[in-house]
A and B are shown apart, each in its own frame.
Chain A
Amino acid sequence: MRWLLLKDLQILRRSPFLVALLIAYPLVISVLIGLALSRGPDKPKVAIVNELAPGDSSFTVGSQRLDVAKYANELFKSVDPVYVDSREQAIGKVRDGEVLGALIVPADATKRLQDAINLAGTKPPTLEVLYNVDDPLRTQIAESTIKSRLADANKALAGTLTKLAGKYLQVLLKGGDFSLLGQKFDVLGLERSKAQLEDVLRTLPPGSKEAAQVKAVIDFSQLAIDNLGLSNNVLAAVGQPLQVKRTVVSGHKTPLDAFAVAVSVTVSLMFVAVLLASGMLALEQEEHAFGRLVRGLVSRLGLLGEKVGLAAVCAVPATLVMLCGIGIFVHLDWGRFALWLAALTGGALGFGALGVAIGALARDVRAASLLAFLLTLPIAFLAIVPAGSVAHTLYDVIRAVSALFPFRPALQAVNAALNSASPSLPLPLVHLGVLAAAYLALARVALARAR
């Protein structure tokens, strides 16, 4: 067996293009993934037309002036703003594709905001968004980008206004200093008003008409105090109507970039192991050496085992190199190296077994490679279809199909090894072992009549 393995490694050494591909492929993939994870998407360019007159960007809420420009910054956090002077210029840039979209802040925005806050019965300001609908994907990006930015700006403004309202209610309740139009007032407040009225009540003859009137005012004050005391909570609830609390029922939450690393490593492991095992087994038949080998020199099962071993010997180091490359960009826990090795080895053996089944069925290298690609790509895609993205029954079918191929358990194993994700490592390794045995049996049957 070892001589066959040595022979296969010699053949690989004599195939510099294939070896270069084996080394370069995971390296290139790891660099691309690393760059993608570490840099994130570029900010989209959005044209901004500010029609507000200079110095007209602030408005008054009670005693406080708020600057709209401060909240407009929320709009520009995740976009690259391109300031233009007119609506026409903005339309031109959108039409030419220079910018993803355009946002027009109307001249009356500040006034309308002021009026809306003063309950003057006017509509709040309307910002105009321009975008091109020629490209649906681009339209979707423009819409979602600008909508999410507007939502953030609204949220920031609403939060400030809520705080202000709460502050005034507290002054009304507790009393204290209050500024309006440059003048300071000392507001008595409901609580102090009540205390003063109680003092007055004690001086009045019990049962008198005046005492009854003062008592009624005191009762009203108490009612107001009790209810305004809750005003902060009520305002907070209005400012942020829905609170979200995340509860993990089971499993370990894996960050998206860490999961992306697991997916990319598993895909590379799959390609190297499946292509190598299928190709090298098919090569034995293409070189007509198969008949010579199995007539007593090596058993058919031994030959299959050697090819699976070859796939593991090549694929595991290749993907480890890839992990090292990714490690430059993404934090990896090197303390779990032994688990990585176990997961990659289990995955490589599972993929290798699938590869020899393909190689045994295809019988020549080109057909084996084509079959390997045609089979493994959709299987990999199916295995990462998230729950809830398709109908329940279809998802069950996808899960059942994925369970018949090594990609899903290999991904689970790699994810568990890299990210402590669930299920824990032993379960997918057992799954891979069962699949490897099944595929070896299939390959053995396919080789029964080969010569």
Chain B
Amino acid sequence: MTTAAANDAPAIAAGDLVKRYGRREALRGVSFVAGAGEVVAVIGPNGAGKTTLLSILAGIQPPTSGTVSREPREVGWVPQSPAVYRKLSVAENLRLFARLEKVGDPEAVVTAMLEQTGLAERADDELGELSGGNRQRVNIAVGLLADPPVLLLDEPSSSLDPRQRERLWEFIGALAAGGTAVVFSTHNVGEAERYADRVLVLADGEALFTGSPGGLEALVGGDPRDFEAAFVRFLHERGH
């Protein structure tokens, strides 16, 4: 999903991030950049540190050491589980977070976001009544309310069916085309290959590779049509 809007100036940069939980090291000196309009996938096995990296970039938890170039409020955050209130309607959720984000005209932003996410007809429905896919759309919409230059998504497609996934990636593609840097984590390496401009491979808290999916395949050789096999072989060669 290479976009014309991508340029050289990083939309977000992380330098030498370390995160320790007691004696366990979840991140070990991870550095990383994403340019405006670029889509970056963070992939790796379970426990690699994907969610830890994204939550530090989002400002939910501080790193033990290292730097992040953006303030938390400059970054849109979409957690894996919809972080919205089931007892409130779609519009009420959006309105609440628009007010908390202190956007200029909350009502106008809510209306625009309902249109953008295709949820205008469900505006008055309580979140608890919506499907998992629609709830995830509201979750993403909340992350976009403040029109952030960077959007972070933690496993955004994990609870969606194929059709909903397709609509999600169309939506994300449109955002990137508009200049938003998108960083997402996923277990589905096929999605990473299809929709990401670059992949960041994490294993045991260490950044093993940053580059295009094609670059990873070229690094390990083999069948160029099977990115997942190349990814597994890459991890195996690196001792993971």
Contacts and interface: CB of A to CB of B under 8 A. Distances in A.
B204 interface: no
Contacts of A14: 87-88, 126
Nearest to B55: A451
Given A451-B60, A451-B61, A297 B100 contact: yes
B85 A11 contact: yes
A3 B99 CA distance: 7
B96 A3 contact: yes
Contacts of A4: 96, 100
A11 B89 CA distance: 10
Contact of A295 (B58, B85, B126): B58
A293 B73 CA distance: 11
Interface in A255-300: 287-298
Nearest to B85: A287
B81 interface: yes
Contacts of B35: none
B72 A295 contact: yes
B228 interface: no
Contact of A292 (B79, B88, B99): B79
A285 to B, nearest CB: 10
Contact of A10 (B58, B79, B92, B101): B92
B142 A292 contact: yes
A297 to B, nearest CB: 4
Given A288-B83, A451-B61, A7 B96 contact: yes
B71 interface: yes
A296 B73 contact: yes
Nearest to B74: A296
Nearest to A1: B100
Contacts of A296: 59, 71-73
Contacts of B86: 287
B79 to A, nearest CB: 6
Contacts of B79: 288, 291-292
B6 interface: no
Interface string B52-76: 0001001111000000000111000
A290 B79 CA distance: 11
The number of chain B residues touching the other chain, given as a range, is 20 to 34
B60 A291 contact: yes
A247 interface: no
A15 interface: yes
Nearest to B142: A292
Determine chain A's interface SS by DSSP, over half rule: helix
B216 interface: no
B77 interface: yes
Interface string B91-128: 01000110111000000000000000000000000100
Contacts of A451: 55, 60-61
Contacts of B96: 3-4, 6-7
B182 interface: no
B83 A291 contact: yes
Interface string B141-172: 01000000000000000000000000000000
Contacts of B61: 449, 451
B81 A288 contact: yes
B84 interface: yes
A4 B97 CA distance: 9
A283 to B, nearest CB: 8
B82 interface: yes
Contact of B77 (A6, A11, A15, A292): A292
A288 B51 CA distance: 14
A11 B61 CA distance: 28
A294 B87 contact: no
A446 to B, nearest CB: 15
A292 B83 contact: yes
A289 B100 contact: no
Contacts of A288: 79, 81-83
Interface of B: 55, 58-61, 71-73, 77, 79, 81-88, 92, 96-97, 99-101, 126, 142
Ranked 4 nearest A-B pairs via Cβ: A296-B73, A288-B83, A14-B87, A297-B100
6 contacts: A15-B87, A287-B86, A289-B83, A291-B77, A292-B77, A295-B72
Given A293-B100, A295-B59, 17 more contacts: A4-B96, A7-B85, A7-B88, A7-B92, A10-B92, A14-B87, A287-B83, A287-B85, A288-B81, A288-B83, A291-B55, A292-B83, A292-B142, A294-B60, A296-B72, A298-B100, A451-B61
